[in-house]
Amino acid sequence: MLRLGIDIDGTITDPQTFVPYLNKSFNKSLTYNDLNQYDLTKVLNITEADFWNWMDEFEPIIYKEAPIANHAKKVLDEWKNQHQLLFISARRKHLEDITYNWFKENDLYYHHIELIGTHNKLEAVKKNNISIFFEDKHDNACMISEEHNIPVILFNTPYNQDSIPKGVVRVDNWLEAKNWVNQWYDVKIL
């Protein structure tokens, strides 16, 4: 049995989720491909303070309404009886109720959800003894893989195109992730 560490935003939620909210709030006409940096202050050319003021107002709405990523539910439903599904997110603690409700509304199974309030997931990965991590943030994927010597599945987005180390596997969707994990697990248990 694997202990699967899974990020939430941009990994099990559709990575395009933020685009319409950004366009409406900042009077932009951005496309998903315009989000070529994880740091939205640089994409929007706004201050950190302005960004967090906006997040304080819109983050609960965005997370409540976020669509689930293609095939994520199907794959996670296949794995829920075979592996442990541990969701580890940089979301802040005050978003806990919204997060649990989102999982309930999307009928998405979990063994554990942890909102750590920071992008540094190294301690949570160690504490939860994660076997494989699923992520969309480039530097997180690289750090987790290198620090803990585990595979990290990096979901391909416009904002994570930098080169990746050997332990990070880039995939385009959950079906590719499933195929890689199942093959890796089959080899590991032989």
Question: pLDDT digits over 103-131, tens only?
Answer: 999 999 999 999 999 889 999 999 999 99
Q: Could you tell me the pLDDT band of residue 185, with boundaries at 50, 70 and 90?
A: confident
Distance from C-alpha of 1 to C-alpha of 189, rounded to nearest angstrom: 10
The average confidence (pLDDT) of the chain is 96
Give the CA radius of gyration of the chain.
Answer: 16
Comparing C-alpha atoms, which of 129, 112, 164, 155 is closest to residue 17?
A: 155
Give the pTM.
Answer: 0.96
The pLDDT, as a whole number, for residue 81 is 95
Sign of CA dihedral 25, 55, 159, 13: negative
Q: What is the pLDDT of residues 145-171, one digit of tens each?
A: 999 999 999 999 999 999 999 999 999
Which residues, in sequence order, are CB contacts of 95 under 8 Å at separation 6+?
Answer: 59, 60, 63, 115
The pLDDT, as a whole number, for residue 119 is 85
